[in-house]
Amino acid sequence: MTGPRSLFDKLWDSHVVADLSAGSALIAIDRIFLHERTGAAALNSLAEAGRTVADPARVFAVTDHIVDTRPGRTDQTLMPGGQAFVTETRAAAKAAGITLFDVNDPDQGIVHVISPELGIVLPGCTLIAPDSHTCTQGAFGALAWGIGSSEAEHAMATGTLRLNKPKSMLVKFSGKRPEGVTPKDMIMTLIARHGAAGGKGHAVEFAGEAVTALDMEGRMTLCNMATEFSAMSGFIAPDDKTFAYLEGRRYAPKNVLWEQAVAHWKTLASDRDADFDQHMEIDASKIEPMVSWGTSPEHSIGISDQIPGNAGQRPLEYMDLDKGQRLRGTPIDAAFIGSCTNSRLSDLRRASALLRGKTIAPGLKAICVPGSSRVKREAEAEGIDRLFREAGFEWRESGCSMCFYAGGESFDAGSRVISTTNRNFESRQGPNVKTHIASPETVVASALAGAIADPRELT
Ligand SMILES: CC(C)[C@H](C(=O)O)[C@@H](O)C(=O)O
Ligand code: SF4
């Protein structure tokens, strides 16, 4: 292609192995990441078909989804049959010769948290995982997206995947983000405004002053929920912050290869005048802390707003809320800090700083689950675990945990939970559990008050 190209065009063009019919192409896949919920099935099915992993050095696996997060964990889970996911993944990974970050490995953690920590995702690469939040890793200027198990199998056997070329979209966050407003609030605003299907069929580049101002962890939070916008993926052009984050990471290139890589990565930005199929713009200075009221991430409002008059009956009934109601002051039973959206060190730092010297509302169940074993160790070295514990939070081993009822553990049936996760679907966190998604700051403010609260009012 000649003429100005977008970052997406560059990522796509550099991976096309063959143009196929009707807008699809065979795309080279640089990295594949598996987890125990869907990974063992893909590996076993590959082996049963008599195939092998083409390049085991590019395939990684981790135990994060089913694994227990209670302190002192073993392979056992509360979920009947859960242990088999862990042991089968272990056996299948060994047989396939791929790298596994096992239950007690110091590098274990949620797949989308550990891949950047280890420098497995790199700018300009294609990375796939049988997990919808793989788009998180687009924060590094990679094309990273979620696939199904059979596609993982195909990619492992061939190093390629057939893909329909998505359309492109530029989402620009202009202006400065106000105090107390986080990247989570930015992405929730986009989804609330343009709908959970707003990005359908599109590869979305996030850009603008409020995006480049974010650190890498904030960029990951933003890209994480591109899938809740139905986008094929979300990504951000790499810059000096990206390079500084990756330098020295285990799988990142070293020495002269590093220099060469950075020189190439600097070309990975949309050219001026590059074409996009769609443009959206949001003024970041007008965003306020967001909380979801319903059962889709698009059912979200600013903390000072009222539930819209056209809100659907079903989500309102499920959530036991009314049109016109404000969320602020709604009593909660539990609070959760964790998940691939908001469980990195900076999230836990900000949350714990707000807890210092305070205790959560009596009777409230509150849980903090670090996104990786590394985040847990680093947080403990800073005394962050102590701040959580002294305030009344449980402090866990890393994993997906109660983001999706993992390992069979859930919140009490019917309880109302404020959560830093990305999905508020019916019964996502336990039978009839009512999930309100929000930023770590809003979760802390609410846990302290025992009711949904505005973090900007914390003193
Ligand atoms: C279990 C897994 C396949 C699933 C996903 O794809 O997203 C999970 O991570 C989720 O968040 O619901
Ligand atoms: S933390 Fe939650 S959203 Fe993220 S990968 Fe795990 S289950 Fe999925």
User: For residue range 170-200, what is the model confidence (pLDDT) as tens digits?
Assistant: 999 999 999 999 999 999 999 999 999 999 9
Common-topology check for domains 167-239+270-285 and 291-457:
no
Name the residue of 67, 404, 419 whose CB sits within 8 Å of the most ligand 2 atoms, as the mutation to test its pocket. Answer: 404
Give the domain 291-457 fold: Aconitase; domain 3 (3.30.499)
The ligand placed nearest to the CA atom of residue 340 is 2
Going from N- to C-terminal start, the domains of the chain cover: 20-165+245-262, 167-239+270-285, 291-457
- Maximal C-alpha separation, the chain: 63
Q: Is the ipTM of this complex over 0.95?
A: yes
Ligand 1 mean position, distance from CA 26 (Å): 25
- Torsion region of 337: left, alpha or beta (phi above 0 gives left; psi -120 to 50 gives alpha): beta
Query: Atom 6 of ligand 2 has which residue's CA nearest to it?
Result: 400
Name the residue of 133, 137, 228, 426 whose CB sits within 8 Å of the most ligand 1 atoms, as the mutation to test its pocket. Answer: 133
Contacting residues for 236 by C-beta, under 8 A, at least 6 apart: 138, 139, 140, 141, 205, 206, 207, 211, 219, 222, 223
User: For residue range 295-340, what is the model confidence (pLDDT) as tens digits?
Assistant: 999 999 999 999 999 999 999 999 999 999 999 999 999 999 999 9
Give the domain 20-165+245-262 fold: Aconitase; domain 3 (3.30.499)
Lowest mean pLDDT among 336-345, 405-414, 436-445: 405-414
Evaluate if pTM is beyond 0.95.
yes
**Mean pLDDT computed over 244-255:** 98
Residue with tokens 């009512």: 434
Cα–Cα distances in angstroms (integers) from residue 142 to residues 15, 95, 145, 185, 223, in the given order: 12, 29, 9, 23, 11
* Superfamily of the domain at 167-239+270-285: Aconitase, Domain 2 (3.40.1060.10)
DSSP H or E stretch at residue 91: helix 82-96
Structure confidence at residue 406 (pLDDT) = 76
What percentage of residues in the chain have a pLDDT greater than 70? 100
Statement: residue 214 has pLDDT above 70: yes
User: For residue range 20-53, what is the model confidence (pLDDT) as tens digits?
Assistant: 988 899 999 999 999 999 999 999 999 999 999 9
**Mean pLDDT computed over 368-374:** 98
Ligand 1 mean position, distance from CA 258 (Å): 33
**Mean pLDDT computed over 377-392:** 98
